[in-house]
Structure 1
Amino acid sequence: MFFVDTLEIEGLGNRSYLAGGPEAAVVVDPPRDIDQVIAAAARRGVRIAYVAETHVHNDYITGGLELARTTGARYLVPAGASVSFDRTPVADGDSIAVDEGLLLRAMATPGHTPHHTSYVLEADRRPVAAFTGGSLLIGSVGRPDLVEPRLTERLARAQHASAHRLADTLDDDVRVLPTHGFGSFCSSSQAEGDATTIGAERKNNDALTTDVDTFVAEMLAGLDDVPAYYAHMGPANASGPAPVDLTPPRSADAEEIASRLAAGEWVVDLRNRVAFAEGHVAGSFNFEGDGKLATYLAWLIPWGKPVTLLASTPEGITAAQRELARVGIDRPAAAATGEAHTWVREGERVATFRRARFADLAEARERGEQVVVLDVRRASERADGFVDGSVHIPVHELYGRLGEVPAGVVWVHCAGGMRAAIAASLLDAAGREVVAVDDAFTAAGEAGLPLTGPVATD
């Protein structure tokens, strides 16, 4: 008897796993907030005997070291990883007895990183699952360009070889359980589905259906932007992350919020984009708590800049604090809850801006209004089609390039509305008149706006 439980880390597009038998279990690639892992083990009634990392992560802060310390588990880390803490180094072919009849076997699968290691779970000597981390993903593989630019092509070729090693070693019915690939920027491409097997990947994964030269050329041509905060994740994980502190931040009143804004700190409003547009603290930025908060806030904010969080409820602050801690934004400087009018000083008014659809933009153009259309999608998205005459500045570059936005009323759009709302808040805080287009990009052509190239979908 064995089990495998999946722990979804949706905001970052990752998964962690708890796998074991009646008495003991191993945790693979745990998130920084380890309380949920401990709770999952408690529900199963098992002891966490091992914590295993597939690689030194570049997209989030691991909870592996603290989880091992807290539970007394052995901390398994690939032997080739350069780290500055005590761990049990794991090399290709090493096997670990997790519970009676349950074995974890290490398999070197370099490519995502030079030291990347997958773990094959064997029940009664039969492989039943492979924890593939950033190696073999669903319909894809982990990107090879996060370590060192000079190694990218070499690691891409290693990814192809590693995928084939897994496929050649394991039977069709073995489950493939990756860490990345569910919206994570660590994936070289995004694929549909949330479950797969070795057999399915043999049929559908480019790494297993194309020759190495074609695979490498196509992968390198398709690599997308790397979130800026990734540069801080690897070093933090290699040095050994500190325990996470999720105690509530101090409460801020309107005077303190104004003071922090005046000092150049970031005040982040976590409410949905409709509520923000209808009324917000002037100078604050809108990163929806229900969106990809950690990815985009960590990507845009100058690293180490103090941040104050605003939300409708204390629960909104708590959820955001947990998500941000996963990417190293540890302690909010302060927080406030309630309604926007309570966050501004007496005698001041909340700021607002307009929201619209692509049909409204088309009508504005027909009326002869001089508008600036700002496209904040990534370059790879824009390559699939864009509104004629639009200005292109990806949202993750906008904060440092606000001066490049032409004069006039700025109609800002993305593929669906979330990133447009972030961009609109940045422009609004800079004193620009802005209209946030809250619409799917497919509606642009339907509205009669002239487009260049095929129409992209969200």
Structure 2
Amino acid sequence: MFFVDTLDVEGLGNRSYLAGGGRTALVVDPPRDIDQVIAAAARHGVRIALVAETHLHNDYVSGGLELARVTGARYLVPAGASVAFARTPVADGDTYAVDAGLAVRAITTPGHTPHHTSYVLADDGREVAAFTGGSLLIGTVGRPDLVEPRLTERLARAQHASARRLATELDDDVPVLPTHGFGSFCSSAQAEGQTTTIGKERAGNDALTLDVDAFVARLLAGLHDVPSYYTHMGPANAAGPAPIALPPPRLADAEEIAARLAAGEWVVDLRNRVAFAQGHVAGAFNFEGEGRLATHLAWLIPWGKPVTLLAETPEQVADAQRELARVGIDRPAAAATGDAAGWVREGERLASFPRARFADLAEERARGERIVVLDVRRETERARGFVDGSVHIPLHELPGRIDEVPGGVVWVHCAGGTRAAIAASLLDAAGRDVVAVDDAFDAAAEAGLPVVDGSGARGVVV
């Protein structure tokens, strides 16, 4: 008998896998915090014998090298990947024993990266799972534009060929187990559903239903923004990531928090956006610990900038520290917990700003008030519809473009409220009067606001 465990890394939209038999196991694309992988192996009573990377990841720091070192496992890395550490270079067709009767075979599947490799698990010769990394995903494929712009079209064509190779070599009932596609920006489109098989993909995946030219044209047309921190992930993984270290940050009092803000450092409040809007340290930024903290913060913060974390409990700080370490933001400079009133010096008051719905915005506009509507969604989202007359600055561009926001009270919105809260905190820290619209974008048209679709047509409900 064999097993396959899925290890979700929800904040980054990725999955890792532990697969094995009665004694030994294989790990595919482990996260940097390997303790959860080791714990999963312990629950099964197996020793990790193999650690396999499908590619050098662009969206997180891998724990593969450290996991192999700690467990003594053989570290499988695609032969074409240029790395600065010892590993077992994997070539097309290489097969490795996982446990008695259980083996894994490498299939080169370039496209997401030039060296990308998928791994097919076989139980007594019967193929039972395909670990496809950033190749064939659920309803889509991994994006081909993260390596080098000049290679994008060539890699897109390689993605088409790789997906078809998998579909040709594997039976319809083989589960497809990708690393990306659950919110990761490494996916070329958002995955629909949580599970899939070769047969399901054969029926509905563009890579398997369109000819190569049509597929490439559609794929390239749908590519969107790349998080800035991706620039640092590939080199870190090629150099050999340092082991994760999660000692509790030193505690900061109100004086130190004020000093760090005065020095231009980032102070990040992890509380939910409602609590932050009601009262926060002036100059702090709101990145909810329950949201996609690592993606949003790593995308916006100047790389290497010291960060101090504020939260209600030490556990929230520890969770955030772990998530940030997954993308290479190590060792916060300091932290503070408890009530927000304890984070400001004696005689100082907490700052605040209002929250609202799109219905409130419609009423404010109807009164003829001088306001600015700021849309911080991405280009691809705005193309599907936007509030007429709104200013558009995607959230990831806002820190460098705040001076472009027109004067007046700024009503900032996104698709649901999370990014609007981040943007509102950035604007508030810059001294602007701001209202955070905490509402689903569908409510804009329902509230009577003029919504324009991508073609310029007005009054469209999107």
- Tell me the secondary structure at the aligned position of residue 362 of structure 1: helix
Alignment of 1:337-348 (within 5 A): 337-348=337-348
Q: Which residue of 2 aligns with 1:293?
A: 293
* Offset, 1:191: 2.3
- Tell me the secondary structure at the aligned position of residue 171 of structure 2: coil
Alignment partners' CA distance in 2, 1:186 and 1:237: 16
TM-score calculated relative to the size of structure 2: 0.98
CA deviation vs aligned residue, 1:257-308 (integer Å, no higher than 9, x gap)? 0000000000000000000000000000000001010000000000000000
Alignment partners' CA distance in 2, 1:178 and 1:450: 40
Q: Which residue of 2 aligns with 1:165?
A: 165
The amino acid that maps onto 1:70 is V
Alignment partners' CA distance in 2, 1:434 and 1:424: 6
Alignment partners' CA distance in 1, 2:251 and 2:196: 46
Q: Which residue of 1 aligns with 2:445?
A: 445
The amino acid that maps onto 1:53 is E
Q: Which residue of 2 aligns with 1:60?
A: 60
Alignment partners' CA distance in 2, 1:270 and 1:214: 44
Q: Which residue of 2 aligns with 1:40?
A: 40
- Tell me the secondary structure at the aligned position of residue 400 of structure 1: helix
- Tell me the secondary structure at the aligned position of residue 310 of structure 1: strand
Q: Which residue of 2 aligns with 1:99?
A: 99
Q: Are the aligned partners of 1:249 and 1:332 in contact in 2 as well (CA < 8 Å)?
A: yes
Q: Which residue of 2 aligns with 1:28?
A: 28
CA deviation vs aligned residue, 1:345-383 (integer Å, no higher than 9, x gap)? 000000000000000000000111010000000000000
2:372 corresponds to 1:363 = no
Alignment of 1:91-130 (within 5 A): 91-130=91-130
Q: Which residue of 2 aligns with 1:192?
A: 192
Alignment partners' CA distance in 2, 1:340 and 1:386: 36
Alignment partners' CA distance in 1, 2:37 and 2:367: 57
- In structure 2, relative to structure 1, the CA distance for the partners of 1:103 and 1:456 (3 Å cut) is farther
Alignment of 1:219-368 (within 5 A): 219-368=219-368
Q: Which residue of 1 aligns with 2:457?
A: none
2:36 corresponds to 1:12 = no
The amino acid that maps onto 1:392 is H
* Offset, 1:77: 0.1
* Offset, 1:175: 0.5
* Offset, 1:456: 7.6
Q: Which residue of 2 aligns with 1:411?
A: 411
CA deviation vs aligned residue, 1:233-259 (integer Å, no higher than 9, x gap)? 000000000000011110000000000
Q: Are the aligned partners of 1:358 and 1:444 in contact in 2 as well (CA < 8 Å)?
A: yes
CA deviation vs aligned residue, 1:398-442 (integer Å, no higher than 9, x gap)? 001000000000000000000000000000000000000000000
Percent sequence identity over aligned pairs: 81
The amino acid that maps onto 1:370 is R
Alignment partners' CA distance in 2, 1:163 and 1:32: 28
- In structure 2, relative to structure 1, the CA distance for the partners of 1:30 and 1:267 (3 Å cut) is same
Alignment partners' CA distance in 1, 2:393 and 2:45: 51
Alignment partners' CA distance in 2, 1:428 and 1:456: 31
CA deviation vs aligned residue, 1:100-134 (integer Å, no higher than 9, x gap)? 10010000000000000000000000111000000
- Tell me the secondary structure at the aligned position of residue 107 of structure 1: strand
Alignment partners' CA distance in 1, 2:370 and 2:452: 20
Alignment partners' CA distance in 1, 2:320 and 2:265: 18
CA deviation vs aligned residue, 1:72-124 (integer Å, no higher than 9, x gap)? 00100000000000000000000000101001000000000000000000000
2:207 corresponds to 1:207 = yes
Alignment of 1:121-160 (within 5 A): 121-160=121-160
Q: Are the aligned partners of 2:2 and 2:20 in contact in 1 as well (CA < 8 Å)?
A: yes
Q: Are the aligned partners of 1:382 and 1:456 in contact in 2 as well (CA < 8 Å)?
A: no
- Tell me the secondary structure at the aligned position of residue 48 of structure 1: strand
- Tell me the secondary structure at the aligned position of residue 77 of structure 2: strand
Alignment partners' CA distance in 2, 1:353 and 1:339: 18
TM-score calculated relative to the size of structure 1: 0.99
- Tell me the secondary structure at the aligned position of residue 439 of structure 1: coil
Alignment partners' CA distance in 1, 2:339 and 2:192: 38
Runs of 4+ in 1 over 6 A off after TM superposition: none
- Tell me the secondary structure at the aligned position of residue 400 of structure 2: coil
* Offset, 1:451: 1.1
Q: Are the aligned partners of 1:81 and 1:115 in contact in 2 as well (CA < 8 Å)?
A: yes
Q: Are the aligned partners of 1:233 and 1:327 in contact in 2 as well (CA < 8 Å)?
A: yes
Q: Give the count of matched residue pairs.
A: 457
Gaps of 5+ in 1: none
- In structure 2, relative to structure 1, the CA distance for the partners of 1:4 and 1:134 (3 Å cut) is same
Alignment partners' CA distance in 2, 1:99 and 1:299: 41
The amino acid that maps onto 1:136 is L
Q: Are the aligned partners of 2:388 and 2:450 in contact in 1 as well (CA < 8 Å)?
A: yes
Alignment partners' CA distance in 2, 1:90 and 1:379: 39
Alignment partners' CA distance in 2, 1:19 and 1:397: 41
Q: Which residue of 2 aligns with 1:51?
A: 51
2:63 corresponds to 1:77 = no
